[in-house]
Amino acid sequence: MSSLARLRAIAGRFAVDPPIGAVRPLGRGLINETYDLEAGGQHYVLQRINGLVFPRPEQIMANLQVLGAHLAEQSAIGLRIPALIATREGGNFVRDADECVWRLLELIQDATTLARIERKAQALAVGTALGRFHHLVESLPNERLGLTLPGFHATPIYLDRLLDLVGRTASADRTPEVQRCIDFVLHRRPLAAALEDAQRDGRIPLRVTHGDPKLDNMLFSRDGDRVLAIIDLDTVQPGLLQHDIGDCLRSCCNSGGELTGEGDRIGFDLAICEAILVGYAQAAGQLLGRAEIELLYDAIRLMPFELGLRFLHDHLDGDRYFRVAVRGDNLRKAQIQFALVTDIERQAPQIRASIATCFSRGDLRKRSYP
Ligand code: GN1
Ligand code: MG
């Protein structure tokens, strides 16, 4: 974490009114450094983009500019994204002495995040927000956005990387927990390529995606029933709708969260899943082609599998990617994602039925944005 003096100096390079006041850590992100900055009596979000994760932070900022301009051209969008605050020189980021990129964003007022979804209305709101987002970016050509994180959802690459690392360590050095995770992965190897193959064969198109629409990245109204904004737009880039829908569901339907306590039951909540899909289908359903719908179940199973691979790899690699509070967190998180996969597989018929119901409704074309 950066020192207060350093943070204040960086904040002063943006076009905000003095005085620069308090700077406090904000949110639960695992990658970037994020702060709530007070300046001129207003609150902002000050962020340092993690240069080890994002090889081209300037590309993130260029994408954000394109996305912001695209959304500003549309009317009644019913969803906000945080505005970028310019630097004193008129740019949209600054570099510190270590060449790290910092940016300043609007802090969306009167908004809150939810630790878990508690009511159907909240699940509907999440689905509606993601559907709106996809609907809004449908008219933004893919080519206008550069890749901020190449291979971000290339599950086969994550799988190979994990198996490669495992292959380089002696099996005697593995704990039984790690071995169980590896066995789990080996049993599901064919799953890894489900979406990549479909895209390569031309069955499903690349589209503009959010990349990381987990529950923490949705800002709700104070009553918790409406999603006002989607944040964390670093991974907005060409991808598959399935990545977003699968990632959103793996996060929202895991009511215990990404790091539950020992002995807690880890399950995939079907009622939340169905409500999210209903909201999504109403806001964006018409967008999805038949093949995209057919692959939704695979995506719901794949995204927690992929995140589990990533957590497990990071655990075995010394926790270099995801921030952890204590050693072992990444392993525990991998076990939780894999338990989620198992519960999704157990409920496969019901999840498939739910997808069929949500995406076969005659009212899909009805889209009204309050
Ligand atoms: C990371 O930094 P954060 O918390 O927004 C990760 C996502 C994971 C998520 C799991 C760029 O997101 O892919 O799904 O953790 N982002 C990146 O909580 O790797
Ligand atoms: Mg993120």
pLDDT tens per residue across span 322-340: 999 999 999 999 999 999 9
214 lines ligand 1 (CB under 6 A): yes
Residue 76 has pLDDT above 90, yes or no: no
Least distant ligand from the CA of 28: 1
Structure tokens at 320: 């270099």
CATH of 120-364, one of 3.90.1200.10, 2.60.120.1310, 3.40.50.10190, 1.10.150.120: 3.90.1200.10
User: Using CA atoms, how far apart are residues 93 and 85, in angstroms rounded to an integer?
Assistant: 9
253 vs 170, more confident: 253
Average pLDDT over residues 35-44: 97
Residue 74 has pLDDT above 90, yes or no: no
Return the half-sphere exposure (C-beta side, CA atoms, 13 A cut-off) of residue 86: 4
Q: How confident is the model at residue 360 (pLDDT cuts 50, 70, 90)?
A: confident
Structure tokens at 64: 């954000």
User: How far, in Å, from the CA of 34 to the mean position of ligand 2?
Assistant: 11
Q: How confident is the model at residue 267 (pLDDT cuts 50, 70, 90)?
A: very high
User: How far, in Å, from the CA of 311 to the mean position of ligand 1?
Assistant: 10
Average pLDDT over residues 286-294: 93
Place of tokens 């939810």: 114
Average pLDDT over residues 144-167: 96
Least distant ligand from the CA of 214: 1
238 lines ligand 1 (CB under 6 A): no
Q: Which amino acid is at 201?
A: D
Parse the chain into domains and list their residue ranges: 3-109, 120-364
> Which pLDDT score is estimated for 370?
35
> Which pLDDT score is estimated for 285?
76
> Which pLDDT score is estimated for 28?
87
Residue 171 has pLDDT above 50, yes or no: yes
User: How far, in Å, from the CA of 31 to the mean position of ligand 1?
Assistant: 7
C-alpha dist (Å) from residue 66 to 143, 149, 163, 232: 11, 17, 38, 15
User: Using CA atoms, how far apart are residues 329 and 315, in angstroms rounded to an integer?
Assistant: 8
Residue nearest (by alpha carbon) to ligand 1 atom 13: 212
30 lines ligand 1 (CB under 6 A): yes
Task: Just give the CATH number of 3-109.
Answer: 3.30.200.20
Structure tokens at 356: 């069929």
Q: How confident is the model at residue 263 (pLDDT cuts 50, 70, 90)?
A: low
Q: What is the mean pLDDT of the chain?
A: 93
Structure tokens at 127: 């689905």
> Which pLDDT score is estimated for 255?
82
> Which pLDDT score is estimated for 369?
36
> Which pLDDT score is estimated for 300?
98
The 10 Å Cβ neighbour count of residue 220 is 22
Burial code of 135-145, b = ≥16 C-beta within 10 A, e = fewer?
A: bbbeebeeeeb
Supply the pTM of this predicted model: 0.94
> Which pLDDT score is estimated for 315?
97
> Which pLDDT score is estimated for 83?
95
User: Using CA atoms, how far apart are residues 342 and 336, in angstroms rounded to an integer?
Assistant: 10
> Which pLDDT score is estimated for 1?
63
